[in-house]
Structure 1
Amino acid sequence: MKVHVDIDCTPEEARAFFGLPDVQPVQAAVMKELENRLMSGMQAMDPETLMKTWVPAGLANMEQFQRMFWQQFGGSDKKSGQ
């Protein structure tokens, strides 16, 4: 014997019937905090900010690479005066 029961109710009504807590306010607060953190992280991805972060280190590494290259092949290094 099979018995099939259909219950037509909203998720809120089902939670109340089973005595489960309403977590919508907590979920809304967590999602707002997540949104705030994502937006502040997006500001760090600004092209101008990225260039300020990467270029000084990139130029210093390029100069170091050039000195190493010229020293390796017996050329003169303009900065060290060789």
Structure 2
Amino acid sequence: MKVNISIDGSPDEVRAFFGWPPVAQLHEELLRKMQEQMASGAPGFDPASVMKNMMPEHLQNMMSMQQAFWQQMATQGEKKDKDK
């Protein structure tokens, strides 16, 4: 059996429906702080490292999985080229 559910709603409406907290204010605050740091030219400011600390661990692992996937694809392509 296969069941499909389609929800037509904004992200804020879906969050409210599931009881999740609103994140718009947090998002605006994080962007404001990053913009301030970039504008001030903070020494050693690296946007990638700042974002990495803000990302949930499962997304960081997702990046590792994506890198492993692309490495595997490249390896498979090299093996097929050698077989020809």
Q: TM-score, normalised by structure 1?
A: 0.45
Task: State the structure with more CA Rg.
Answer: 1
Structure with higher helix content: 2
**Larger RCO, structures 1/2 (Cα 8 Å, 6+ apart):** 2
